[in-house]
Amino acid sequence: MNVAIVGAGKLGIKVAEALIDGDYSITIIDKNEAVIEKVSQQLDVMTITDDARKISVLKDAGIGSFDYLLSSTDSDETNIVIAAFAKKLGCSRVIARIRDPEHMNQFEFIKKTMNIDYITNPDMAISVEIYKYLSDKYASDQDFLTTDKIAITEFPAVKMKNLIGMPIPKVRETIPNVLVAALSRNGKVLLPHGSDVIEKDDYVYLIGEKSTIKDIHAKTKNRTRQGSHKKVMIIGGGKTGYYLAQSLEEMGMSVKIVEISIDRCRYLSANLDNVMILHGTGTDIALLEEENIDNMDAFITATGYDEENLLVALTAKNHHVPDVICKVSHENYQDLISQMGLDMVLNPLDISTSSVIRYIQGSTKIVSSVLIQGQAEILEMIAKPGMKMTQLPLSRLDIPDDVLVAAINRHEKLIIPDGNTTIQDGDKVIILSLLTDIGDIEKLMRGAK
């Protein structure tokens, strides 16, 4: 399958790195010669140094024979134009990254008018994940996901106190036909292994037979949630803060945004109803205390600076805010984050990459996918003849630590696999994977050579 990526920035490169491990031929186009030279040294891809807005460049690249094009330059308008040109020249599917809030309510019109198949918006994607987390917690009972005979639910470990201190393998002995699929600990999602133990403050994700999970869900769901009058403070009134404030206000929450730019404050005031806009910085502790940080139910740091987000999030945690959510764009802080005790940490690049990859894979490989706290992904896929995963027992497959084959649906029979299980052609397989290493799934789905 031929994939063209225009723009060798963070999104373009991460998508390329993920797809390289699958059955894809990738071409990267960027007009910056230094950037293309670096890409050529690091990745096994075709490269073109030129401006993809030129129709001649797209024609010379043979874009009409490509299955997908992703346009991910720094300009929304450039991405729209390139994607539209590529589609007109015969590319089967085109994807554009569009970030400007002014376009938010026009996505369907843009897609229809410019013949663009899919739009990805990192800031909106991360806002959706935060919204889902808070709405699940404050607005409605926990849901549980189902597919055929398999279901998954999540709950705080204190809801099933007998699990606290229990080693992961012991859980399966205690609750038959159930597997601990993931743990959320100190704001970080973990795929557990045999040596791990469930801790008191963990959130536990269980996957297993539908009736068993339904019973567990009924016992652990929160029955006292209320959406109205919950207080949320957002640090940073950029695109993420804007999208999130709009969604939370519509849900009935009381929202405050702290923004350092006076011009941006004016924009937010003009475009957000019933949201308090405060001109200031999240590092101004006096301002936060004056605005009653101690009374907040949730606190979100969403500036463009990871260091500030982490510092201010730690401040909120020290003020005992129940839910502290932090936007972090770089992976270098993972070890630090795990020690801070935050409730949720999100990387917009990982989330956006996942959405693009799943669209490119389409229904031929992935039946459905759901994110866990914006850090991990639950995938349902169909095993096809020739895939590496169907060749050997699971214990003999090269499965990375951050990938878990959680369940198999074979001819309407549920299988919770172990190391001796071999995936068969036609199996519906539930796989969990951390977004940080999204390419690992491609390795398993790749055809054997």
Phi, psi of 422, rounded to the nearest 5 degrees: -115, 125
**Cβ atoms < 10 Å from Cβ of 445:** 21
Cα 183–Cα 188–Cα 191 angle in degrees, nearest 5: 40
Q: In what order do the strands lie in the sheet with 2-6?
A: 46-49, 25-30, 2-6, 68-71, 93-97, 118-120
Q: What is the pLDDT of residues 304-321, one digit of tens each?
A: 899 999 999 999 999 999
- pLDDT reading at 380 higher than 50: yes
β-pair partners for 433? 377, 403
pLDDT at 225: 47
pLDDT grade for 151, boundaries at 50, 70 and 90: confident
Give me the helices (H) in 104-160, please. 107-114, 122-138
For the residues 40-47, what does the mean pLDDT come to?
A: 94
Torsion region of 371: left, alpha or beta (phi above 0 gives left; psi -120 to 50 gives alpha): beta
pLDDT at 143: 52
pLDDT at 334: 67
For the residues 53-67, what does the mean pLDDT come to?
A: 97
pLDDT at 446: 72
Cα separation of the two ends of the chain: 16
- pLDDT reading at 136 higher than 80: no
Return the structure tokens found at 165.
Answer: 């201190």
pLDDT at 413: 85
Does 173 or 21 have the greater pLDDT score? 173
- pLDDT reading at 335 higher than 70: no
For the residues 200-220, what does the mean pLDDT come to?
A: 87
C-beta separation of 48 from 57 below 8 A = yes
Q: What is the pLDDT of residues 425-442, one digit of tens each?
A: 888 888 888 887 777 777
Q: What angle in degrees, to the nearest 10, is found between the helix axes of 239-250 and 122-138?
A: 30
pLDDT at 345: 87
pLDDT grade for 139, boundaries at 50, 70 and 90: low
Burial environment of residue 60 by CB neighbours within 10 A (0 to 12, 13 to 18, 19 or more): exposed
β-pair partners for 211? none
Return the structure tokens found at 337.
Answer: 């984050």
Helices and strands of the chain, counted as H and E runs: 15, 22
C-beta separation of 408 from 382 below 8 A = no
Lowest mean pLDDT among 68-77, 254-263, 349-358: 349-358
pLDDT at 31: 95
Torsion angle defined by CA atoms of residues 325, 329, 332 and 338, in that order, rounded to the nearest 10 degrees: 10
pLDDT at 153: 86
pLDDT at 442: 75
β-pair partners for 152? 145, 207
pLDDT at 421: 92
β-pair partners for 178? 208
Torsion region of 386: left, alpha or beta (phi above 0 gives left; psi -120 to 50 gives alpha): left
β-pair partners for 301? 235, 326
Going by C-alpha positions, the residue among 48, 46, 2, 5 that lies closest to residue 24 is: 2
Global pTM? Answer: 0.79
Q: What is the pLDDT of residues 212-231, one digit of tens each?
A: 888 888 888 765 444 456 89
Q: What is the pLDDT of residues 92-125, one digit of tens each?
A: 999 999 988 778 778 889 999 999 999 999 888 8
pLDDT at 439: 74
63 contact partners, CB below 8 Å, separation of at least 6: 4, 69, 86, 89, 90, 91
pLDDT grade for 138, boundaries at 50, 70 and 90: low
In the chain, how long is the greatest CA-to-CA distance?
Answer: 66
Is residue 148 classed as helix, strand or coil in its secondary structure? Answer: coil
Cα(240)–Cα(348) distance, rounded to whole angstroms? 9
C-beta separation of 438 from 22 below 8 A = no
Give me the helices (H) in 21-147, please. 33-42, 55-60, 76-88, 107-114, 122-138
pLDDT grade for 198, boundaries at 50, 70 and 90: very high
Residues above pLDDT 90, as percent of the chain: 48
